[in-house]
Amino acid sequence: MSAENEAVVRRFFEEFCNGRRLDIAEEIIAPDWTIYEPHDPPVARGPEGAKQVVSLYQDAVEGRWEIKEMISSGDKVVTRWVGHGVHSSELMGIPPTGRELHVDAITIHRIENGKIAEHVGVWDALTMLQQLGVVEAPAGAAA
């Protein structure tokens, strides 16, 4: 089952996110999909909620999500990934800066009946805000 679950998560990153194929949401996102991330506001559930979250970043950053590592066990798939891109439009109230972003993240997806039912993630928001120039990096730190 792990290989099948990983394939669904790869589709999420490669087709849904990078390929900007929001039209496949019904194929890979469960009707009761829920997201748990400290940075994202509550959104609609299910495929429409997933589209809302992903399009927030697709609309604001000309970039892509790069899978660095994927590990699965049972119904869970853990992915370490990096978001790369140029901040080209408003993002969470931050006007476009034209700056390059490289944001590290880890996401745990729970798969149910061949679809992503739950998304639990953490990403390096502090470094992203430093890269955008919104938060000053400590002296000597690389942003």
- Give residue 42's pLDDT: 62
Rg of the chain taking only CA atoms, in angstroms? 15
Q: How confident is the prediction for the chain on average, in pLDDT?
A: 92
pLDDT at residue 66, as a whole number: 97
Going from N- to C-terminal start, the domains of the chain cover: 2-131
CA distance 130 to 142: 9
115-124: b or e for each residue (b if 16 or more CB lie within 10 Å)? bbbbbebebb
* pTM (predicted TM-score): 0.90
CA distance 115 to 42: 21
Residue 51 has pLDDT above 70, yes or no: yes
3-class SS shares of the chain: helix, strand, coil, % to 5: 30, 40, 30
Structure confidence at residue 142 as a pLDDT band (50, 70, 90): low
Q: What is the pLDDT of residues 83-122, one digit of tens each?
A: 999 999 998 889 999 999 999 999 999 999 999 999 999 9
H helix and E strand count, the chain: 4, 5
Q: What is the pLDDT of residue 39?
A: 72
pLDDT in the model for residue 24: 97
Q: Which two tokens stand for residue 142?
A: 């690389």
User: From 3.30.70.120, 3.10.450.50, 3.10.20.30, 3.40.50.1100, which CATH number describes the 2-131 domain?
Assistant: 3.10.450.50
- pLDDT confidence of residue 23: 96
